[in-house]
């Protein structure tokens, strides 16, 4: 599945878009992400699916638009 | 002839010029039911972090979601406080210390609603909009800003 990254997460991964193996839900995806990018382990980040923030139990589909969001800093 | 609808955005490149704020205020003189405006201006501060002083902030955002989030907040606050109108403008890209990076402008018949709505709008934008900020120091190094809520 295609995943978009922002801020410090894009910096750690050294790319703005990554391709990951399919994960059934957000928690499973988080585990795959920290395996692939150990630097993510110390980062707090939320996940948006199809433009909405979701929690770890949210089920994922291959076509979902998945985006990793580090802490917000607007204003 | 079909008119092209201009896409509404809450973002602008670089700092928000004071002239733009003045123009926005002036445009409201035709709205006769307004009795109170409340304006918030966010300015980039020369924070000191581990002995280094911030020179500028480079803003980025998950634009598609941020536009939706701010549009939703704005609609909710207009309804909740029965505002006449509300405007939000946030910078993208580089904004230097001392420059304006957020402009929130709400107008109401009475001052209490305007003041409360403005404060609420600013707090919710800071908390809910997926906007990111790279604090750039004088020596070219940087750190990622995190909002204290």
Question: Residue B4 above 80 pLDDT?
Answer: no
Is the Cβ–Cβ distance between A52 and A69 less than 8 Å? no
Is the Cβ–Cβ distance between A48 and A66 less than 8 Å? yes
From chain B residues 90-149, the ones with a CB under 8 A of any chain A CB are 90, 101-102, 122, 125-134, 144-147
- Please list the pLDDT of chain A residue by residue as tens digits (75 residues): 999 999 999 999 999 999 999 999 999 999 999 999 999 999 999 999 999 999 999 999 999 999 999 999 999
Q: Does ipTM exceed 0.85?
A: yes
In this prediction, residue B5 carries a pLDDT of 60
Please count the helices (runs of H) and the strands (runs of E) in chain B.
3, 8
pTM: 0.94
Please tell me whether residue A29 adopts helix, strand or coil conformation. Answer: helix
Q: Do B132 and A4 touch (CB under 8 A)?
A: no
Question: Where is pLDDT greater, at A50 or B8?
Answer: A50
Please count the helices (runs of H) and the strands (runs of E) in chain A.
2, 5
Interface of chain A toward chain B, CB-CB under 8 angstroms: 4, 6-8, 11, 48, 51, 67, 69-75
Tell me: the pLDDT tens digits for B16-39?
Answer: 999 999 999 999 999 999 999 999
**Residue given tokens 């990554």 in the structure block:** A18
Tell me: the pLDDT tens digits for B55-102?
Answer: 999 999 999 999 999 999 999 999 999 999 999 999 999 999 999 999
- B133, two tokens: 């900020």
**Residue given tokens 């941020």 in the structure block:** B66
């Amino acid at each position: 599945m295609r995943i978009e990254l922002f801020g410090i997460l894009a910096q750690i991964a050294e790319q703005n878009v990554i391709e990951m193996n399919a994960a059934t839900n957000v928690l499973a995806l988080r585990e795959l992400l920290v395996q692939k990018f150990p630097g993510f382990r110390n980062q707090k980040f939320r996940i948006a699916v199809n433009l909405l923030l979701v929690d770890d139990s949210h089920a994922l589909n291959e076509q979902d638009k998945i985006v990793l969001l580090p802490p917000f800093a607007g204003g | 002839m079909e008119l092209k609808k201009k896409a509404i955005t809450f973002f602008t490149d670089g700092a928000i010029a004071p002239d733009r704020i003045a123009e926005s205020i002036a445009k409201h003189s035709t709205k006769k039911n307004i009795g109170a405006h409340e304006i918030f201006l966010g300015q980039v501060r020369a924070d000191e972090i581990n002995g280094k002083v911030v020179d500028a902030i480079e803003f980025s955002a998950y634009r598609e979601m941020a536009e939706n989030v701010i549009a939703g907040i704005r609609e909710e606050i207009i309804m909740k406080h029965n505002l006449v109108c509300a405007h939000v403008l946030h910078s993208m890209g580089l904004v230097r210390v001392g420059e304006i990076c957020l402009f929130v402008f709400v107008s109401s018949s009475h001052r209490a609603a305007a003041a409360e709505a403005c404060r609420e709008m600013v707090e919710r934008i800071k908390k809910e909009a997926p906007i990111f900020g790279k604090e750039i120091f004088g020596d070219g190094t940087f750190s990622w800003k995190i909002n204290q809520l």
